[in-house]
Amino acid sequence: MPWHFYVLEFVSGLLLTNGVPHFVRGVSGHRFQSPFASPRGVGVSSPLINVLWGFANLAVGFVLLWFFGPRGFEEPIGWIVVGLGVLVAAVGLSIYFGKVRSKTP
C-alpha cells in the first residue's frame, strides 16, 4: 500500500474523532467551541453550527476511509493507523477542551 494511504487513514481517524463532540453537543442543543466562534476554538458556537461542523468532519472522515482505508482484516496495519489517529485526536481534544472549558463560566 502506498505511504500516503497511511497518512489519509490517520487523518480519517482524526476527523472522525473530532466530529463526535461537535455533533453530539449540537444534537443535544448545547453550545460548544468551534473554529467558527470568536475567539476561534475558545468561544462557543450555536448547536446548529456544531451539528454542521461535526457532520462535515464525520463525512470527510468516512469518505477518506471509503477511498483510502484498509480493506477488511487483510490490512491490520491500516486499522492500527486509523486507531492511532483516533487516539491522538481523543487525547489532544480532551486536553484542549478540558483547559478551555475549565475557564468558561
Residue 72: Cβ within 10 Å count: 8
Q: Give the three-state DSSP class for 65.
A: helix
Contact at 8 Å (CB) between 18 and 34?
A: no
* Per-residue pLDDT reduced to its tens digit, 34-85: 999 988 888 899 999 999 999 999 999 999 999 998 887 768 899 999 999 9
Give the global pTM: 0.88
Q: What is the pLDDT of residues 86-95, one digit of tens each?
A: 999 999 999 9
The pLDDT-based confidence of 23 (bands split at 50, 70, 90) is very high
